[in-house]
Amino acid sequence: MPKILVCGAINWDTTLFVERFPNPGEEVRATKVISVPGGKAANTAVAGAKILGTNTVGVVGMLGPDSLAENQIKILQNEGIDTSLIFRHEEMLSGQAYVIVDSKGENVILTYQAANLAITPEEVTQPQVLSAIDNSSTMIVIDPPLDTAGSLIIYASKAGKRIIWSPSLLTSYGVSALQKYLSHVDYLILNQQEAGSLTSIDDGVEACNKISNSLSGINVVVTLGDKGCALCTNGKNIIIPPLDLASSSDLRIVSTVGAGDAFLGAFGAFKLKGFEDAQALYLANVAAALKASREDTRASPTFEEINRYAYDKKRRGSL
């Protein structure tokens, strides 16, 4: 049985590369278009499996009745992911995302969630899902519908599992809607924009502190892009350094799409391996940076690649 279960979106990504983002009403030329598998849960699962190995990570999600679903399942299985908990909806199409990436590697994402929104608490409390949770060590919940996320979080908490929640789009509901589930979570992981939307604070570290102060005992992590990430617990914070791509002659930012997912999957994997928080977060920063140097959404690095770059003194900050 998988040791890590990930619940959230499985999408097919169409990515357009442009020199710069258009202004409203403006047309710009796309220099390249690629079509690749994506979705936060699927990306996160693959990132974890590249560190932990085949069939150590499983996905809980929903796909449609279409050929995209068949292709997604086949690709995930080839990546060593347990797909036995991916449900199929008879009427709703599989999820898709449309991504624009500029010459700096920054991105804008438009998501058609479709079948991803159809996974219900009834599905995730079926005996085979609960059995998988019982036999796992870590539950990573991302962006299923809020009541579905809550059902998983509460059950996994009662089962004594490590729970990592990256609510992503669910942050639009606000802190009050998330509050009843947050007390069951071990790690809350947000990017700067998400932390800002919950606190109305632009500075990621300040937002991290504010959220942490309101959630006693929960570890809050806010990713800070090329500045690494902040870990805040009980009013204290530490800044975890990034991998310094600027000092690397062999690396440059190509696309940040999926970098956050690589971070999440790597963090879960390194915690499962027994790493302390600061070291696991640093290695997750390395994984995210290496993914950002690659074009494909799921091009997260292997365990060996992370190790090679993480301990190169020319590239790393000081912990």
Over residues 51-86, the pLDDT tens digits come to 999 999 999 999 999 999 999 999 999 999 999 999
End-to-end CA distance of the chain: 34
pLDDT of residue 318: 41
Q: Which domain holds residue 208?
A: 4-23+32-310
The per-residue pLDDT for range 13-37, each reduced to its tens digit, is 999 999 999 999 999 999 999 999 9
Residue 300 lies in a domain: yes
pLDDT of residue 250: 75
Residue 113 lies in a domain: yes
Extended beta strands in the chain, E state? 4-7, 11-18, 30-38, 57-63, 86-88, 95-101, 107-112, 138-141, 162-165, 187-191, 219-223, 229-233, 236-240
Average pLDDT, rounded, for the chain: 93
Q: Cβ of 145: how many Cβ atoms within 10 Å? A: 17
Least-confidence region, from 55-64, 127-136, 310-319:
310-319
Residue 317 lies in a domain: no
pLDDT of residue 217: 81
Residue 318 lies in a domain: no
pLDDT of residue 271: 98
Number of folded domains in the chain?
A: 1
Say if residue 122's pLDDT is above 50.
yes
pLDDT band at residue 317 under the 50/70/90 scheme: very low
Judge whether 47 and 287 are in contact, CB under 8 Å.
yes
pLDDT of residue 319: 40
pLDDT of residue 248: 66
User: Which of helix, strand or coil describes residue 4?
Assistant: strand
Could you tell me the CATH number of the domain that includes residue 278?
Answer: 3.40.1190.20
Judge whether 316 and 241 are in contact, CB under 8 Å.
yes
Residue 316 lies in a domain: no
The per-residue pLDDT for range 209-263, each reduced to its tens digit, is 999 998 888 999 999 998 999 999 987 999 999 988 766 667 888 999 999 999 9
Average of per-residue pLDDT across 164-186: 94
User: How far apart are the C-alpha atoms of 143 and 151, rounded to whole Å?
Assistant: 13
Residue 51 lies in a domain: yes
